[in-house]
């Protein structure tokens, strides 16, 4: 086994609250290997989004630490809502990370065009976000998270707002992207089947304060197809997760 | 003129006036003509439309109208610029820092309670009858609505977009020009649109108090000489000026905010 790309050690966070303190995460520890796809499951309020926000340095933990191998990584983040800038076209939203890194516009546009093809949005380059469907907007957000070639993808329920059909199509697209682009992914989800469809490993958090309750390897063969969910092994893993979530 | 739209900073009228608007204006003109001709009023009370038109032509030809309009327009634009720059800068600081807001807000509220019209004579005494006192009055009158809109606009920038920029390690300057300015532009332009009309009022008030040029000065001259037609000319020119500025900001809004749905329909 290689060195982990991310090491999280005893991470805890408490928020000031009206009646004292709100303990959101409690001594969370885990590691992630390079190119691993890890899903985080847990009840609402267990601190999943908080965990991602800490790892993206948007929030300081109260105690504990985390470190990325090789210094501060480039992060590609997909938020629960697509979180596009309404004054930028689909293409301009995708180029944003490169603009921030100071790339020339023509380079940024060429790369954005590749990603438009990858997520299947040809023809919508100059659409405003208001004219995109939820699934299309989410794909723009995924392309935006990939364009600057990040070391790690932090995805917060990226498909939560999509209908079942689109969601399953997006699973396939995401696992293609993940395989082709060799990314490390940490993805929060509410859906057991989503996590089993995508992940190498699933972490289950407890009720607040979030603690790691289960760290489950998903040894289902890839590529994973829809029929997989009727296999006995899938059913066994799903039951294990379900029991852990409670 | 649609007053609801004038008062609502986030909407811009898009369609040209309906024919009923023209019909209503024609009716008003006819009414004016009838009253001025058959009510037996002297011309210094109510000049007839054709007298005003003739006076307009005369002032246009002898160059005085252009001179005074330019003077007023200069004051209006400089005041608008100064007031907007000051308000946006201060508004940005207020939106960014609660401490700063608490420090300055009592003064802001207090200044807002001062009727600018009432202290205009004071400003003219202090700063002379020249252009500076007028620009100052315009700037003061423009300041508050633009400030409020700046604060509201900046505060309304979604936290999730701030998170996005921080996750990409954007610098302060990048956050300002890639996120905060475009995100608050709709509200800011709404403030500017109100400010533009207010600035015209500010200039006229200053000129009425004391000046040797400008459309407000022209109103004074016309009144002093019982040349009421000239007063009408000045007033109509002021209305045209205010509408032109309003239209200019609306045009800017349509150009800069094409991404907003409201401008498509
Ligand atoms: N900035 C904050 N200030 C105060 N409390 C916060 C803050 N952020 C999160 N919390 C609290 O921490 C707890 C965990 O929130 P978090 O958003 O991480 O949960 P989650 O697991 O993502 O839930 P969900 O599945 O509903 O998205 C919640 O009780 C929330 O109210
Ligand atoms: Mg969440």
Does the beta carbon of A209 sit less than 6 angstroms from any atom of ligand 1?
A: no
Q: Measure CB to CB from residue A56 to each of B158, B167, B260 and give the nearest one.
A: B167
Neighbouring CB atoms inside 10 A of B116's CB total 21
DSSP characters over A32-48: E-TT-EEEEE--TTSSH
Please tell me the distance from the alpha carbon of residue B42 to that of residue B163, in angstroms, as a whole number.
70
Task: Pick from A60, A84, A85 the residue to mutate for testing the B interface (most B CBs within 10 Å).
Answer: A85
Encode chain A (246 residues) as per-residue pLDDT tens digits: 678 999 999 999 999 988 888 999 999 999 999 999 999 999 998 999 999 999 999 999 999 999 998 888 889 999 988 899 999 999 999 999 999 999 999 999 999 999 898 888 999 999 999 999 888 898 899 899 989 989 899 999 988 767 788 788 888 888 888 888 788 999 999 999 999 999 999 999 999 889 999 999 999 998 888 888 899 999 999 999 999 987
Q: Give residue limits of the domains in chain B.
A: 48-264
Please tell me the distance from the alpha carbon of residue A171 to that of residue A196, in angstroms, as a whole number.
11
CB distance B44 to B222 below 8 Å: no
Options 1.20.120.420, 3.30.70.980, 1.10.3720.10, 3.40.50.150; which CATH number does B48-264 get? 1.10.3720.10
Encode chain B (265 residues) as per-residue pLDDT tens digits: 344 444 444 444 555 677 888 899 999 999 999 998 888 888 888 898 899 999 999 999 999 999 999 999 999 999 999 999 999 999 999 999 999 999 998 988 888 888 888 899 999 999 988 999 999 999 999 999 999 999 999 999 999 999 999 999 999 999 999 999 999 999 999 999 999 999 999 999 999 998 889 999 999 999 999 999 999 999 999 999 999 999 999 999 988 898 886 544 4
C-alpha distance from residue B2 to each of A22, B9, B15, B17 (Å)? 52, 13, 11, 9
Query: Would an 8 Å CB–CB cutoff place B169 in contact with chain A?
Result: yes
pTM for this structure? Answer: 0.82
pLDDT value at residue A2: 77
CB distance B11 to B5 below 8 Å: yes
C-alpha A182: how far from chain center: 14
Please tell me the distance from the alpha carbon of residue A111 to that of residue A143, in angstroms, as a whole number.
10
Give the HSE-up count for residue B9: Cα atoms under 13 Å, Cβ half-sphere.
21
Q: Identify all chain B residues contacting A130, using CB atoms and an 8 Å cutoff.
A: 259, 261
pLDDT value at residue A172: 87
CB distance A215 to A203 below 8 Å: yes
pLDDT value at residue B7: 44
């Amino acid at each position: 086994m290689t060195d982990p790309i991310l090491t999280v050690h005893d991470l805890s966070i408490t928020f000031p609250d009206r009646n004292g303190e709100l303990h959101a995460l409690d001594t969370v520890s885990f590691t992630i290997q390079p190119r691993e796809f890890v899903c985080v499951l847990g009840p609402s309020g267990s601190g999943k989004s908080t965990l991602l926000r800490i790892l993206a340095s948007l929030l300081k933990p109260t105690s504990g630490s985390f470190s990325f191998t090789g210094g501060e990584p480039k992060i590609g983040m997909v938020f629960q809502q697509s979180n596009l800038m309404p004054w930028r076209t689909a293409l301009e939203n995708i180029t944003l990370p490169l603009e921030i890194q100071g790339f020339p516009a023509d380079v940024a546009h060429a790369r954005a065009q590749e990603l438009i093809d990858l997520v299947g949005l040809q023809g919508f380059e100059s659409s405003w976000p208001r004219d995109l469907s939820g699934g299309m907007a989410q794909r723009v957000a995924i392309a935006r998270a990939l364009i600057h070639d990040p070391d790690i993808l932090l995805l917060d329920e990226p498909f939560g707002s999509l209908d079942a059909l689109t969601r399953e199509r997006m699973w396939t697209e995401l696992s293609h992207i993940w395989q082709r682009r060799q990314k490390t992914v940490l993805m929060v989800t509410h859906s057991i089947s989503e996590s089993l469809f995508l992940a190498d490993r699933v972490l289950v958090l407890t009720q607040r304060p979030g603690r790691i309750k289960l760290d489950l390897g998903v040894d289902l063969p890839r590529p994973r197809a829809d029929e997989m969910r009727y296999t006995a092994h899938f059913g066994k893993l799903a039951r294990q997760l379900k029991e852990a979530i409670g | 003129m649609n007053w609801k739209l004038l008062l609502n900073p986030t909407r811009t009228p898009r369609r040209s006036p309906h024919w009923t608007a023209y019909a209503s204006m024609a009716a008003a003109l006819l009414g004016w003509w009838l009253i001025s001709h058959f009510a037996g009023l002297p011309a210094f009370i109510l000049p007839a439309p054709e007298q005003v038109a003739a006076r307009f032509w005369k002032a246009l030809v002898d160059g005085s109208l252009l001179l005074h309009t330019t003077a007023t327009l200069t004051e209006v634009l400089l005041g608008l610029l100064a007031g907007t720059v000051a308000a946006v800068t201060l508004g940005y600081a207020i939106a960014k820092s609660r401490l700063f807001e608490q420090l300055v807000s009592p003064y802001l509220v207090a200044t807002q309670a001062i009727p600018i019209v009432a202290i205009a004579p004071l400003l003219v005494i202090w700063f002379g009858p020249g252009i500076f006192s007028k620009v100052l009055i315009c700037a003061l009158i423009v300041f508050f609505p633009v400030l409020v809109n700046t604060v509201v606009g900046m505060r309304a920038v979604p936290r999730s977009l701030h998170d996005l920029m921080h996750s990409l390690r954007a610098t302060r300057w990048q956050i300002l020009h890639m996120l905060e300015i475009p995100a608050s532009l709709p509200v800011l332009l709404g403030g500017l649109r109100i400010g533009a009309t207010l600035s015209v009022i500010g200039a006229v008030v200053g000129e009425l108090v004391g000046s040797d040029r400008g459309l407000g000065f022209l109103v004074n001259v016309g009144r002093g000489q019982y040349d009421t037609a000239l007063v009408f000319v000045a007033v109509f020119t002021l209305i045209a000026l205010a509408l032109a500025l309003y239209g200019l900001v609306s045009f800017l809004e349509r150009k800069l905010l094409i991404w907003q749905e409201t401008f498509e329909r």
